[in-house]
Chains A and B, each alone.
Chain A
Amino acid sequence: MTGTYELLVKFDPHGLHDAAKGWTALGHAAESIGRRHRSQVNGPLCGNWEGEDAKAALEYMAKTEQLLNIAKMESDTAALVLNTVADRMYQAQTNLTNAVKRAVDAGLTVSSDGVVSLPPVDKGEANDPEAQKARQQLGSEMNGFQDRINTALKDAQTASDQGNTALGRLSSNALDPTKVNLAGAKNAAAAAMKDLGLVDPYLPDGKDPEKSAAWWKGLAPEQQEAYLALHPGEIGKLDGLPATVRDEANRLVLDEKLDAYRAGKPGDFGITEEEYKSRISAMEEIRRKLTASDGNPEEHRMFLLGIDPDVHNGRAIVSTGNPDNSQHTAVFVPGTGTVLSGVPGQMDHIRRLQKAAEAEAKHGDNVAVVSWLGYETPEWGDASVAFTDRGDAGAPDLRNFTKGLRVAEGDSGVCSHLTVMAHSYGTYVVGAAARDGGVNADDILALGSPGMGVDKASELNIDPKHVWVGTARDDFIREVAGDLSGRAPQNMYFGAQNIQIDTSGHGGYWDTGPGAASESLRNQGRIIAGRPPTVLPQIPH
């Protein structure tokens, strides 16, 4: 005990805190370099360099960014471990010195090795009953002080041992691509946190964006970093958190998923070879498009707000522009048959919508457009498209997502003009979400809608003057609209505004290929920017 006691008495936490500062600085440097690499090297090259050499180089650069992520994760973890150990040992030292001081004040003696003892017996004490009683009392207190000292020493030793174990888990080869991978680094960081008992078991259930946002804001920066590193899957899904946070988390998830798929085989995921290849290809293309946008200013950067390739048709939520500080935001809900492999195309699609809206918007206003593949879309090949159950299941999630946008933008001091727009079966999802509590929108746009689950636009919890419907002249949906649920939105008695559409067919509302026209695209841009589109006269359906 002698050594430990002396060490704890002399312990100076500044040494560990200074070391932690060094690691924190290294983590920030890795993050800063990674960000600059994304925005100034990889991003611009990814959008403009093609061919075999480009492919090889871009893959290498993506790996470099992953290594920088690992370096940041390990540095942050080392800093957190050192700070935690320092704080705990300082607390133990404080407990120790308090116990010693109280013991001495009480008249006890504390030796240089931390042993508490009674003072020598005074002359005459043997014949003084009062003095004997006092000595007896002091003896009883002595045991208490000794216990406090022993506990303090034990706490310090435990903190030191835990820190030692935790630091030992971190790799000294963080920048050696042959010896580390993202999943391994994450596991090491998670184990290190667990060693210190730092993993807070509480994570919001995500059902209330306001609560999720409040929880996140209540965390210290190092706790936020730890959650991002250890629970990116959960953090990335939390509606109400800033888009930048969700993007950081979901990019980690995407990298992990890609690593896992590349290292595995179709049977590991219970899918066919074709589906396996399709998912990998989709994830690679999503990653490439995200990276290609990293060199853009924030209003044209892509944010990954959700990703899960494993469920059903796949889930991906991507925004072009930061919805938290844009004056106009649109959320687009795709329809029947949209799966993960279609998400890269959706990313091009939302960029075109963004451009169309930017032309219409007031000078200086930013526009963000989100592609929300956040529900299980039905398929053309089976009966699922004829039933509302998938839409009903997705509606609360959509409502939660748009509420989350409102919460997050509120933290940025913005109250944006929000448009919720959808195509095909997606219009039912929007209708159900709006009907059952509102979808937080200023405008709703339904394209090629089979029905929105209501008989009148006024049932969508929004001024019906701001409910817009677009249907191509030759869209087959006209024949079945109203069959799914609720009156056909194209019907004048539904009470929405029918916008002019000049494209052809059910899937052509954004066509740019041969035979394409663009009144459809222009009108979508106008609605997103809060400008009136061109509309058709009201005639009975």
Chain B
Amino acid sequence: MTAVITRVSRRLAGTALLVAMLGACSSTAPTDRNAMPPVKSKADAQAWARQITEHMARTAGIEIDPTTIDAFFSPCTGRNGETASDDRYILMYTVKSSVPRAQHPEAVRKVRDMLVGEGLDVTGYRESVDGKPDALVDAFHPNSRYSATASTSGGEDRMYLSVITPCLLPPPASVSPTGTS
């Protein structure tokens, strides 16, 4: 019984952490286009995105294929293609998972419900195309300004989970874990 309570406590503690993590940038999130972006190192941004996708995977009951992790850092660009000199960046973080196609709608439904519960707005959703299972949920966190996607991928039994961060500013003299390849 004690063990069960401990597990539940841990789970609740984990949930609280995830709630904090899912809105991790909200305290500094700007709404003004000219405001400075939130400060976050690339390593922290990657850890943040990884935690969100892992949470999505657990929610959906699917397993991430660790060989498919793709963390892509890209410079923030303005509407005329201009870039700032302070190394501000976005992260596009994607993982894939093998999931039988028939299970995609249910997996996506679970992720949608979780994301909505965490305060994200759903921007795109479907469960089928032409009557066949082909599911996706796109959602956007209005405060932290990141987007999350769970979707059927090309091919038969693949799904992907992805996070795109808002523009972030690395702390001074931070070291990149990977380059913008």
Contact = CB atoms under 8 A, between A and B. Distances in A.
Interface string A330-355: 00000001100111111011011001
B37 A513 contact: yes
A343 B81 contact: yes
Interface in B127-181: 129, 134, 136, 138, 140, 145, 147, 149, 151, 153-155, 158, 160, 162, 164, 166-167, 176, 179-181
Contacts of B140: 502, 517-519
A355 to B, nearest CB: 5
Interface in A524-538: 529-532, 534
**Most chain B CB neighbours (cut-off 10 Å) among A343, A512, A529, A534:** A512
Contact of A519 (B75, B124, B134, B167): B124
A363 B154 CA distance: 7
Contacts of A517: 123, 140, 147
A348 B167 CA distance: 14
A47 B180 contact: yes
Name the interface size band of chain A.
Answer: 35 or more
Contacts of A531: 154
Interface stretch (A72-80, A198-206, A292-300): A292-300
A359 interface: yes
A356 interface: yes
Contact of B181 (A47, A365, A513): A47
A513 B149 contact: no
Given A351-B74, A512-B167, A514-B35, A360 B151 contact: yes
A518 B181 contact: no
A359 B153 contact: yes
By size class, the interface of chain B is 35 or more
B158 A363 contact: yes
B77 A349 contact: yes
Interface string B11-23: 0000000000000
Contacts of B75: 348
A515 B140 CA distance: 11
A455 B83 CA distance: 38
A359 B162 contact: yes
A356 B93 CA distance: 10
Given A355-B94, A513-B33, A296 B181 contact: yes
Contacts of A530: 154
B94 to A, nearest CB: 5
A44 interface: yes
Interface in B22-38: 29-33, 35, 37
Given A359-B162, A534-B136, A507 B79 contact: yes
B118 interface: no
B154 A518 contact: no
A502 B123 contact: yes
Contacts of A360: 151, 153-154, 160
A510 B75 CA distance: 12
Contacts of B35: 514
A296 B126 CA distance: 35
Contacts of A510: 77
Contacts of A48: 176, 179
A87 interface: no
A292 B178 CA distance: 13
Contacts of A296: 181
B145 A363 contact: no
Contacts of B151: 359-360
A337 B80 contact: yes
Contacts of A292: 179-181
A255 interface: no
B123 A532 contact: no
A491 interface: no
A355 B70 contact: yes
Given A500-B124, A512-B164, A517-B140, 16 more contacts: A295-B181, A300-B181, A345-B80, A348-B77, A352-B92, A359-B70, A360-B154, A363-B158, A507-B79, A508-B79, A514-B31, A517-B147, A519-B140, A522-B149, A531-B154, A534-B136
Interface of B: 29-33, 35, 37, 70, 72, 74-83, 87, 90, 92, 94, 96, 123-126, 129, 134, 136, 138, 140, 145, 147, 149, 151, 153-155, 158, 160, 162, 164, 166-167, 176, 179-181
18 contacts: A300-B181, A341-B81, A342-B80, A342-B81, A345-B83, A349-B77, A351-B72, A359-B96, A362-B154, A512-B90, A512-B164, A513-B167, A514-B145, A514-B167, A515-B31, A516-B145, A516-B167, A518-B164
Q: Please give me the 10 A-B residue pairs with the lowest Cβ-Cβ distance, nearest first.
A: A345-B81, A362-B154, A47-B179, A342-B81, A362-B155, A507-B79, A534-B124, A48-B179, A518-B147, A519-B123
